[in-house]
Amino acid sequence: MQSNFMNMMPLCKVLVVVLFAWAPASCLAQVETGAGAANKAHFAKGSGSPDDSMVLMRGGSIQMGIDAAEISQFEKIFGIPDPQLFQDEAPKHRVTVDHFYIDKYLVTNKQFKSFTDANPEWQPGRFPPQLDNGNYLKHWTTPAALATKANHPTVNVNWYAAMAYCRWAGKRLPSEAEWEFAARGGLDVIFPWGNEPADKTRANYGDSGLGITSPVGTYPPNPAGLFDMAGNVWQFLLDEWKPYPSTSRNSPAPAGKRALDSTEFLKVKTRRVIRGGSFGGAPVNVWVEYRDSHPPNGSREFVGFRCAK
């Protein structure tokens, strides 16, 4: 959903929903989540890649999104009496993904520093100004400041930088369908950890009270062994921001593979999908179905990424 407030505020849904309170836990038991589970006949819990930094997700099909008739149910679950905030999650549709690997952890400052050391054109102060909003790596003020958050997710990076990092690492950004498939961990759940309400033991979100990023892996992983699939920072994905289709489809991951062989991604101007919520978000933001968009040049302190291949 595009911002109806100020152009400088790209995440209108995020900014709105933090005003609302979490619905009582009893409400969760009354409603079956509108998103279908990962097809359990095709899902197997991920196994580590050779360097143990990624998890193998065995492909299959999931139902993404919710039906328009279910919006009122989710208004009750999250205590948000505003159906417009749930319209981007409709309609429900089936998506099929192939086998893929996905990073266990968000990309950290330390890892991104290795990338900029190897690629000086992506260092602070050298990034093309036309491809950024002016916030690129602004938190890297001193070596000491960087060292104290070496294991925190890298932020103040835009979609172009995320794409370039993934290309350098021999990987790519996950598609939106792959991300949700992995976040669910093979279960039909409301959150990556299950249907229990969000609290400060499960994720770094608004009610956790931190108000800042936390080291990757601080909170328990989901059933697939993936960390921070809810909270900490929003995650840039491969996909252009579009309304959901009404028919079944395959994940657009091959487009991400093609992007590894060129610099065509630097020509992208359209908003990109982000998922997962952040340290400043409300419970609805860490809902496994919740989706939002961000401009590709939008380096912000609450947006990072992880890689897939």
Within its chain, how far is the Cα of 25 from the centroid? 25
| Neighbour tally for 201: CB within 10 Å | 10
Per residue in 192-211, pLDDT (tens digit) is: 999 999 999 999 999 999 99
According to DSSP H, which parts of 20-169 are helical? 25-30, 71-78, 109-118, 143-148, 159-168
**Nearest to 54, CA basis, from 172, 138, 140:** 172
Phi, psi values for residue 220, rounded to 5°? -60, 150
Query: Among candidates 174, 186, 142, 159, which has minimal Cα distance to 272?
Result: 159
d(CA 169, CA 151) in angstroms, rounded, equals: 18
Tokens encoding 12: 């209108």
CB 154 within 8 A of CB 111: yes
| Average pLDDT per consecutive 10 residues, the chain (309 residues; last block may be shorter) | 35 48 44 43 44 91 95 97 97 94 97 97 91 96 91 98 95 95 94 97 97 97 97 97 89 55 87 98 98 98 97
Q: Which CATH class is domain 12-304?
A: alpha beta
Q: How do the domains of the chain map onto residue ranges?
A: 12-304
pLDDT score of 300: 98
Least Cα distance to 87 among 189, 175, 1, 191 occurs for 1
C-alpha neighbours within 13 Å on the C-beta side of residue 44: 9
CA distance 229 to 276: 6
Give me the residue label for tokens 């619905």: 23
Helix (H, G, I), strand (E, B) or coil at 284: helix
Classify residue 79 by burial, with Cβ atoms within 10 Å: 0-12, 13-18, 19+. Answer: middle
What is the structure's pLDDT at 51?
A: 64
- State the CB neighbour count (10 A cutoff) for residue 21: 11
The residue behind tokens 């990109």 is 272
Note the pTM of the prediction, 2 decimals.
0.88
Q: Which 8-state DSSP code applies to residue 177?
A: H
Contacts of 43 (CB under 8 A, 6+ apart): 58, 60, 186
Tell me the C-alpha to C-alpha distance, in Å, between residue 169 and each of 144, 193, 202, 239, 293: 26, 29, 29, 19, 25
219 vs 245: CA distance, rounded Å:
33
Strands 249-250 and 93-97: parallel
What Rg value do the Cα atoms of the chain yield, rounded? 18
Look at residues 44, 45, 174, 37 and name the one whose alpha carbon lies nearest to residue 94: 37
Quote the tokens at residue 149: 């958050």
